[in-house]
Amino acid sequence: MINEVITASGMAHDQNLDWKQQQEAIRTGIKQRLTELDSSLSIRSTQSDVLNRAGNKVSVKVIHLGEIGKIAAGSSPQDCGFLQQTLDGHLFISGVEFDAKHVADLSADTLSLLPVDLDGSLVKKALSEKRTVMGWLKAGGGFVIPILAIALLALFLGVERLYSLYTLRSSPALINTVLADLQSHKNDEALEKVANENSPLSRILKCGLESINDGREVRMAKLETAILDEEPRLERSMGLLAALAAIAPLLGLLGTVTGMISTFDVIAQYGTSNPKLLSGGISVALITTQLGLMVAVPILLFHAWLSRIIERRMVILEQAINALLGIEKADS
């Protein structure tokens, strides 16, 4: 067929070359063009190294859709998607994420229809879409998980402390009521009133009333022991809450360092020709720090608020002790 095309074309041959040599050169050129055309229209697959959506280098199956484009057929959504090429020839995954079924079918070679992005609109759409909260957390990498765990633990501890402080509270008016009963020599009634409550203040008052007949020094020692027993109960978990507030931004800083190291590794391998390649490490670096601060600041504020409540409770307990000792001194 190629010979017929050459003969029918009536091409003028070069007088300086043998006509058979010219025919052979033309035949070789046509075969080469047909081979290139067949390659540009065929679908084939190879194993190649690409950068996934997180910016990490992975080896995946690459489906070549002729000259239309390439698709990475990895085993997870992070390693699956349309491929783009940097100026220096490196491939990276971009564009919309495939759903789990398409990813599984692509990986198993069971997908009947291959997705094609003829005009690049799917890539542009993915870049222009607003990032969801879940997408934002995924972009932060592995350090997001411990930071969120710290947030949940701090929330649990804070709610537990707040519940305990407000359910076990007593009105300072109880001190005046007990003092009035003592002045009226109604010690049994005063003891019954404090015994019906379960709070730090009622326990301090009960200790003072039970030692009403002891000497001042003995009673002071008992009351000091009682308040020393109540203080750890009031401040339970407060140290851990403060530690969590300090650990969260430190984890964010560790994520920042890790993300920057990843970014520099990408620069060393692929250069800076395409900012998309650097986005994975930069996202980890910035999002972990942002999330760590977002967790730490509310914990610090909550810790300060709870500390203020505990301070007021301790002041009330000290007032109760001083009042009980004052009554004893007046009666002595």
The per-residue pLDDT for range 308-318, each reduced to its tens digit, is: 999 888 888 88
Distance (Å, whole) CA 137 – CA 143: 10
Which DSSP helix (H) or strand (E) runs through 71? strand 69-73
Residue 79 per-residue DSSP state: G
Task: Cite the DSSP H helix spans in 129-237.
Answer: 133-139, 144-167, 173-183, 187-195, 200-210, 216-234
For residues 186 and 256, membership in a common domain is answered with yes
Which DSSP helix (H) or strand (E) runs through 328? helix 279-331
Report the Cα 131 to chain-centroid distance in Å: 14
| pLDDT tens, position by position, 32-45 | 766 665 665 566 67
For residues 177 and 156, membership in a common domain is answered with yes
Q: What is the pLDDT of residue 331?
A: 44
Q: Which of 93, 128, 163 is the last residue of a domain?
A: 128
Distance (Å, whole) CA 155 – CA 22: 84
For residues 61 and 195, membership in a common domain is answered with no
Among 83, 84, 115, 112, CA closest to 99:
115
For residues 56 and 157, membership in a common domain is answered with no
Distance (Å, whole) CA 104 – CA 76: 8
For residues 87 and 216, membership in a common domain is answered with no
Q: Which of 128, 146, 169 is the last residue of a domain?
A: 128
For residues 289 and 177, membership in a common domain is answered with yes
Q: Give the up-direction half-sphere exposure of residue 49: CA atoms within 13 A in the CB hemisphere.
A: 6
pLDDT above 70: residue 295: yes
From 13-27, 138-152, 162-176, 237-251, the region with the lowest mean pLDDT: 13-27
Which of the pair, 321 or 114, is modelled with greater confidence?
Answer: 321
Q: Which of 128, 144, 162 is the last residue of a domain?
A: 128
For residues 240 and 322, membership in a common domain is answered with yes
Domain count across the chain: 3
Residue 163 belongs to domain spanning: 130-332
pLDDT above 70: residue 203: yes
pLDDT above 70: residue 145: yes
For residues 162 and 285, membership in a common domain is answered with yes
Q: What average pLDDT does the segment 264-287 reach? A: 69
CB 35, CB 2: distance < 8 Å: no
Residue corresponding to tokens 């007032």: 319
Distance (Å, whole) CA 134 – CA 144: 11
Q: What is the pLDDT of residue 177?
A: 79
> Using CA of residue 56, residue 59, residue 62, residue 67, what is the dihedral sign?
positive
Phi, psi torsion values for 81, nearest 5 degrees:
155, 180
**Which positions ≥6 away from 127 have C-beta within 8 Å?**
94
Q: What is the pLDDT of residue 154?
A: 95
For residues 147 and 91, membership in a common domain is answered with no
Residue corresponding to tokens 């940097």: 86
Which of the pair, 21 or 41, is modelled with greater confidence?
Answer: 21
Which of the pair, 55 or 253, is modelled with greater confidence?
Answer: 253
Which of the pair, 67 or 309, is modelled with greater confidence?
Answer: 309
For residues 153 and 291, membership in a common domain is answered with yes
- List the beta bridge partners of residue 47: 61
Q: What is the pLDDT of residue 329?
A: 45
Q: What is the pLDDT of residue 305?
A: 94
Which of the pair, 157 or 43, is modelled with greater confidence?
Answer: 157
Task: Share the mean pLDDT of the chain.
Answer: 76
Strand, helix or coil for residue 318: helix
CB 29, CB 37: distance < 8 Å: no
Strand, helix or coil for residue 87: coil
Q: pTM (2 decimals)?
A: 0.60
Confidence of residue 330 (pLDDT cuts 50, 70, 90): very low
**Which range is most confident: 74-78, 139-143, 323-327?**
139-143
Q: What is the pLDDT of residue 142?
A: 83
For residues 51 and 112, membership in a common domain is answered with yes
Distance (Å, whole) CA 330 – CA 332: 6
Q: What is the pLDDT of residue 226?
A: 86
For residues 81 and 141, membership in a common domain is answered with no
